[in-house]
Amino acid sequence: MAPVNFTRVTEFILIGVSECPELQIPLFLVFLVIYGLTVAGNLGIITLTSVDARFQTPMYFFLRHLAIINLGNSTIIAPKMLINSLLKKKTTSYYECATQLGGFLFFIVAEIFMLAAMAYDRYVAICNPLLYMVVVSRRICLLLVSLTYIYSFSTAIVVSSCVFSVSYCSSNVINHFYCDNVPLLALSCSDTYFPETVVFISAATNLFFSITIVLVSYLNIVLSILRIDSSEGRKKAFSTCASHMMAVTVFYGTLLFMYLQPQTNHSLGTDKMASVFYTLVIPMLNPLIYSLRNKDVKVALKRLLKNPCSSFKSMSF
């Protein structure tokens, strides 16, 4: 039997958010605004929590790293998508696609566990306030953030290596606006059982453990708040975690909608809409959520804009 000839894929074509030509310019403008707000908002959070002495606490330390992750997640996706929306042929090289997938996995896993670390921080602050600076010390904060980045990097390397260990030949059109696991594996001309299993186990494990940490933390927070006698005390305690609760609800709500919908209703089109939300919209919304719900951030931002020099203090955390 003669061997089957096939051409190995060296580049992929990204369809984008929409195939409709007349929508390309409007979509470009919309996503350009979203990305611009994402960069401005997250850089603002990073700057404020780095230079203002009032924000040298564990809560803002985690918030600063969440902003770094949001900025990275959006940047690994948005610039390429914006460029492609203006081009007739939306191509990306094989290795560029692999790098984008690895970067996306790194930042999305890091965000999942950074939100869990922030939930733990709020749990200690409200349920054990007297031990807060001991339990959530600088050393513990650095350890949690370091472990988050190391684990995210390891996950990104393992999963992306599995996805690109299969053969890609003939078809190279990705029905997405960036290189993601599911549409990539759908193009493979070899057996995808192993990489699909790795992707499923990784996603399920990460979501299970992070959601468990968040739910247990907030269950204890709610019970602790309900035990406070004064309504003013309950309101103050709730306000310290309201922003994080809102961010967690939006982020995990989107992920659960994507992964828990019935298989009969599941489509790559739905995946694309959900992906737009958690790769582009949520990184834009998080700075707004934390700024609008936090009086200290709003005051510090006004002070920084009015007199930038006075806000720069040496970091103490």
Domains (ranges, CATH) in the chain?
11-311 (1.20.1070.10)
| pLDDT for res 3 | 47
Q: Which three-class secondary structure state does DSSP give residue 13?
A: strand
| Model pLDDT, residue 311 | 54
Q: Which residues pair with 43 in a beta bridge?
A: none
Whole-prediction pTM value? Answer: 0.89
DSSP H or E run through 12 = strand 11-14
Q: Which of 278, 130, 139, 129 is nearest to 203 (CA)?
A: 278
What is the pLDDT at residue 300?
67
Residue 224 and residue 127 in contact, taking contact as beta carbons nearer than 8 Å: yes
pLDDT computed for residue 256 by the predictor: 76
Half-sphere exposure of 297 (CA within 13 A, CB side): 23
How far apart, in Å, are the Cα atoms of 88 and each of 9, 13, 81? 20, 11, 13
Low-confidence ranges of the chain (pLDDT < 50): 1-5, 314-316
pLDDT 10s digits, 145-184: 999 999 999 999 999 999 999 988 878 899 889 999 888 9
Report the DSSP beta bridge partners of residue 11. Answer: 93
